[in-house]
Amino acid sequence: MHKEKALIEIRIAGLMQGTHTFDFTCRAGDFRGRELAENVFARDITVTAIADKTENELTVTIRTATVADFTCDICLAPLEREIKGEYRVYYLYSTEEESTEDIDEDHRLIDTNTVSIDLTEDVRETLLLSLPMKVTCSGNPDCRLYSNESGKDEFPVDERSSWQESLEQLKNKYR
């Protein structure tokens, strides 16, 4: 059976003990599935994998960085944000079949004869976890909620409705 080549893979066979850095560049369309939207991750994604190998463990720190395209959740203005994420995975060497009951998803057992480790799925999850829950623009003059720098009211007093007044009170409460 032919194994598909991994997108982000580090070769650990023959890797000496110590710290080793691997750099990758990819695009959202390179990943399987539609979770990474190409309209958000439209630019290159840089991935740095730092492998720290000891006698019985391999610790891999995955760092991702890219510029993502969003729209403001309030005024719908287009925004660009630098997105960075970090995730650490521990690989424990095992020579025999060991129990995996006490091992969480951050700790994984690998055979001492393992040639390479596929980090593609871990990178995808790191990117998804680094996305902000809410995206708002704070310095954009087009955003009506945050453009009150001159001290003037955003809405004329005679045109204000009850929801606008409630929104204004809420905004002032959390400043």
**Interacting residues of 48 by C-beta distance below 8 A, sequence separation 6+:** 21, 22, 23, 24, 62, 63
**Each residue of 146-169: pLDDT tens digit?**
444 444 445 455 566 677 777 777
What pLDDT score does 48 carry? 96
How many CA atoms lie less than 13 Å away from 35 in the CB half-sphere? 12
H helices then E strands: how many in the chain?
2, 7
- Taking the C-alpha atoms of residue 173 and residue 137, their distance in angstroms, rounded to an integer, is 19
pLDDT above 70 (res 143): no
pTM above 0.85, yes or no: no
Residue 5 has a pLDDT of: 67
Question: For residue 28, how far is the Cα from the chain centroid?
Answer: 12
pLDDT of residue 76: 77
Q: Which residues pair with 22 in a beta bridge?
A: 49
- Per the model's pLDDT, the better-predicted residue between 47 and 155 turns out to be 47
Residues, the chain, total? Answer: 175
Q: For residue 66, what pLDDT is reported?
A: 92
75-127 residue pLDDT tens: 777 888 899 999 999 999 886 655 544 567 778 888 888 899 999 889 989 99
Average pLDDT, the chain: 79
Give the containing element (helix H, strand E) for 167.
helix 162-173
Q: Are strands 45-53 and 116-118 parallel, antiparallel or unpaired?
A: unpaired
Task: Kindly give the pairing relationship between strand 45-53 and strand 107-111.
Answer: unpaired
Decide the pairing of beta strands 18-26 and 45-53. antiparallel
How far is it, in rounded angstroms, from Cα 130 to Cα 133? Answer: 9
pLDDT value for 160: 63
